[in-house]
Structure 1
Amino acid sequence: MQTPPTPAVQDDPEYADNLRRATLASSIGSALEYFDFALYGLATALIFNVLFFPQDDPAMATVAAFATFGVGFVARPFGGLVFGVLGDKLGRKLVLVITITLMGGASTLIGVLPTYDQIGLWAPALLVVLRLLQGFGAGAEQAGATVLMAEYAPIRRRGFFSALPFIGIQAGTLLAAVVFSLLTLLPEEALMTWGWRVPFLCSFVLIVLAVVIRSRLRETPTFVELEKQDQVAEKPVRELFRTGFPGVLVGIGLRMAENGGSYMFQTLALSFFVAVVGSDADKGILTWGVTLGALIGIVTTPLSGALSDRFGRRAVYRFGAVFLLVYSLPAWWALTLGNPYLAVAVVAIGLGIAVNSMLGPQCAMLPELFGSRHRYLGVAMAREISAVLAGGLGGVLGAYLIAVTDANWLVIGLYMTGLAAITTVSTFLVPETLRRDLTRTDDAVKISPAEAGDDVWLSGSQPVAAGRAAAATTFAAARADRGGGRDREDALR
């Protein structure tokens, strides 16, 4: 005799309300992080290199400015480690309130910093300190938003719902590009004295809004179940490095093209274009490429997430990686032509299609790689170590290569091609995680069959019946404990 189907959890007003609140809370955090980081990246090539560093050698001043940009990436893994542990021990909600406050507060203070002409070497030193704090908070912000939405989302539409908050990434990038484009319309003196400070100071508004929303958010159902079953990890770092490190390595590989490509198109392309065209270049023109890329990403990010619910995470992710692999060399060559409209199109396509078609499936895929006891930490480490290697190093190394090779497009193009190749290979190493049960405490990427036991994940496979039966038992117990069928995973299964 079959059990009557449980009503869809979307029909539960309480669950639907919490899902909307989680989406909004994650989106605002994503918007703030990428508004700050995109704005900082745009300002690095045109503002910070002039105001915060000596001008004896302008090219090296630009390299130094990009080094401070990279410092933020260096801090991110440490923030991911600290807050990832707290997120797995104390819950997702509390950590997300802390990270948004730290990250946004540091960004606001950048807007009041004195310049090199005012306080000398203290200016770049203070800029580095605030950049470190910004990166430390951001180190767990995106991991937390990713885990939060994956654990809240309906299982059959997890790719779509997990990608929705990352529209905040596009919104933040779009807002930063528009604001910076408008700032470049100011007279040079106004821009370099007070104009550039305004958007950093405005970060405070987003902080207040995000903290209010997140303080009203309920803890994720997955973490609540961990607490009820008394399974919260006491030492998530030890667990992660004992069983979850293969997942971290694969996650790093998956992120190299997405993260590196994003920051290279957003920041390095502007410096490259100015170096090729010369001082007569319209310094604000490529920000419109970032703007158009963000507009395209508002569609392609949730669309690719939804496609991953139908065709699998790996197939959609691989499409984006291969697209960037083929696109890299022609893109950087096209920038050397000096045509501003072509340059805008190059950046827009690179960001809107190549990068964001990987970001969509990634939002669900990374949380699905890790067990529930160390999921926050695992996602944070995969995201932030890759951010250092691809994003931070990409800016510094790219700026240096532009300076020493006289803006040789082939060198920069080959660098991006290498990042895309790493990610393409990684899509063949990761198992298919579509519809994986997020209450499971084991990882999707196993060290070996002997260590994994009977429930072994192979490339393109689903877990064996033993693991499914165990998960079903857990859900049944949780449903009985609540007395009434509100478990979203069980309802959609």
Structure 2
Amino acid sequence: MNSSTSSSNPAASQLDSGELKEQIARGAEVEVDPKEVGRIARAAFVGTALEWYDFFLFGTASALVFNHLFFAGVGGANATLAAFATFGVGFLARPLGAIIFGHIGDKYGRRPALIISIAVIGVATGVIGLLPTYGSIGVWAPVMLTVLRLLQGVAVGGEWGGATTMAIEHAPEEKRGRYAALVQIGSPVGTLLSSGIFALILMLPPETVDSWAWRIPFLVAFPFLGVALWIRLKVEESPVFEALSAVEGEEKEKGSLKDLFRDYLPQLALATAAALLGIGGFFVMSTYVLSYATESLGLDRQMVVNATLLGAICQIFINLFFGRLGEKFGPGRIIGWGGVATALLSWPIWAMIDSGNAIALTIAVCLGISSVTITYSVSGVLLSELFPAKMRYSGVAISANVAGAISGLLPFIATWMNSTNEQPSSTPGIVILVIVALITAIGGFVGEKYRVKDNVVRQDS
């Protein structure tokens, strides 16, 4: 059977209402042309990489420059806390974005939701590069920074869930892992872009960085937005959504938030738990480590940023390898054992960071980011298969972004816990990483039993 059921596709005429209803009853998991699958996955990857560049850039800037440029009136450790609180605001806004864009994606189409989300985040990020600092306008500087961060958060709330849903709904069932992993690679590529451009900026004299050079990475978001929009506008609508919309004379099979929270609350909880380490663990091992290593241990900023860059490169290979492995053993099991591995590695990782040795810290950051990426590599598949097609965008986006909201507070919590100690300690980092890893392990192992295949719940033991 041909993949697309769109009226713009000649194949649509080959599918009568009965066939469409049969597809919808099976979860609207239709087959698509392999060439189209690859094109959609690549487009989702590029768009996601550019969006995550914008979002991760704020985390790097929070750890390195925002504390003294936008929160100079607070001073000391409190300035860093304020910067991380603003960083966390973006995550708190993500569930709202998930609800808004999830509704758009499930009712009006995956494609328009993705186009709107990328436009909002690109503009918000670029405008940050134009903001006056605290030294120029006082308290209004952090206020405007916070507003723009909120807009970033709302937009990103609809991005990952939509890109993942598009890739999964175009992919053959047996190859979902590799195509979902391609979308996930957008995250480390976004990290490489944001950390890489900051690494170049930090080669300039510190006074130059603080004066104007810090703005360059944010202003680059404007041309990036043009590229991302061009890519997204070329992407066709999901064939699954089109199958749901093509039944004429019948009530369309669309879900609602009420149905989602009434009928799929256990799946939402499991999906949130399964996504937590891949998001939260990354920010502990990147954003918080940047702050802890430079401010508490007094290590060179450039060296720590370079370690994060190498960690992002490791992420690419981890995503590809475990994405394929998830096709064989199941994404829930990969997430479960990835969580267990991260919990076991937490103390050795932080011991290497505390050594203050550049090589040991680089190995620790690469190992930590790699271990949390094991769970991230297949989370898109598991989350997508926990929900039926008619409410998939909302289910995936809300669960991932509730996890994101929690994750965004982890650097703040770790910094606050450390500020209560007389001497800097890695204990907050260890404790947070272990707890998050074990929660994700439970979500993965249990979530594997709830995977939806053709709207039939698996009964794997």
Task: Give the TM-score of the pair, scaled to structure 2.
Answer: 0.89
Alignment match, 2:27:
none
Q: Please give the alpha-carbon distance, in whole angstroms, between the structure 2 residues aligned to 1:131 and 1:394.
A: 17
Give the match's secondary structure for 1:431: helix
Q: Decide which moves more: 134-143 or 248-257.
A: 248-257
Supply the AA of the counterpart residue of 1:202: V
Alignment match, 1:474:
none
Task: Quote the offset at 1:235 in angstroms.
Answer: 5.5
- Residues 1:436 and 2:437 are matched in the alignment: no
Supply the AA of the counterpart residue of 1:400: W
Q: Please give the alpha-carbon distance, in whole angstroms, between the structure 2 residues aligned to 1:157 and 1:432.
A: 19
- Residues 1:102 and 2:120 are matched in the alignment: yes
- 1:247-276 Cα offsets, whole Å, 9 max, x none, are 110011112222111011110011111233
- 1:161-193 Cα offsets, whole Å, 9 max, x none, are 111122221111111111111111101111111
Residues 373, 53 of structure 1: alpha-carbon distance in 2 compared, 3 angstrom cutoff:
same
Give the match's secondary structure for 2:71: coil
- 1:46-75 Cα offsets, whole Å, 9 max, x none, are 100010012553110000000000000011
Matching of residues 324-473 of structure 1 within 5 Å: 324-351=342-369, 353-389=370-406, 391-405=407-421, 406-432=423-449, 436-437=453-454, 440=455, 457-460=458-461
- 1:262-299 Cα offsets, whole Å, 9 max, x none, are 01111001111123323xx2112111121111111111
Matching of residues 86-485 of structure 1 within 5 Å: 86-229=104-247, 230=250, 232=252, 236-278=256-298, 281-351=299-369, 353-389=370-406, 391-405=407-421, 406-432=423-449, 436-437=453-454, 440=455, 457-460=458-461
Q: Please give the alpha-carbon distance, in whole angstroms, between the structure 1 residues aligned to 2:214 and 2:47.
A: 22
Supply the AA of the counterpart residue of 1:370: F
Structure 2: which 5+ residue stretches go unaligned? 5-10, 12-31
Task: Quote the offset at 1:234 in angstroms.
Answer: 5.3
Q: Please give the alpha-carbon distance, in whole angstroms, between the structure 2 residues aligned to 1:234 and 1:309.
A: 28
Number of matched pairs: 433
Q: Please give the alpha-carbon distance, in whole angstroms, between the structure 1 residues aligned to 2:68 and 2:304.
A: 19
Q: Please give the alpha-carbon distance, in whole angstroms, between the structure 1 residues aligned to 2:137 and 2:337.
A: 50
Task: Quote the offset at 1:428 in angstroms.
Answer: 2.7
Task: Quote the offset at 1:239 in angstroms.
Answer: 1.1
Preserved contact between residue 100 and residue 207 of structure 1 (Cα < 8 Å) = yes
Residues 172, 117 of structure 1: alpha-carbon distance in 2 compared, 3 angstrom cutoff:
same
Give the match's secondary structure for 1:429: helix
Task: Quote the offset at 1:401 in angstroms.
Answer: 1.6
Preserved contact between residue 38 and residue 266 of structure 1 (Cα < 8 Å) = no
Q: Please give the alpha-carbon distance, in whole angstroms, between the structure 2 residues aligned to 1:386 and 1:458.
A: 26
Q: Please give the alpha-carbon distance, in whole angstroms, between the structure 1 residues aligned to 2:104 and 2:399.
A: 17
Q: Please give the alpha-carbon distance, in whole angstroms, between the structure 1 residues aligned to 2:451 and 2:270.
A: 16
Give the match's secondary structure for 1:428: helix
Alignment match, 2:14:
none
Alignment match, 1:490:
none
Give the match's secondary structure for 1:257: helix
Preserved contact between residue 232 and residue 373 of structure 1 (Cα < 8 Å) = no
Alignment match, 1:484:
none
Q: Please give the alpha-carbon distance, in whole angstroms, between the structure 1 residues aligned to 2:334 and 2:170.
A: 22
Supply the AA of the counterpart residue of 1:75: A
Q: Please give the alpha-carbon distance, in whole angstroms, between the structure 2 residues aligned to 1:28 and 1:102.
A: 17
RMSD: 2.1
Identity percentage of aligned residues:
34
Q: Decide which moves more: 404-413 or 167-176.
A: 404-413
Supply the AA of the counterpart residue of 1:219: E
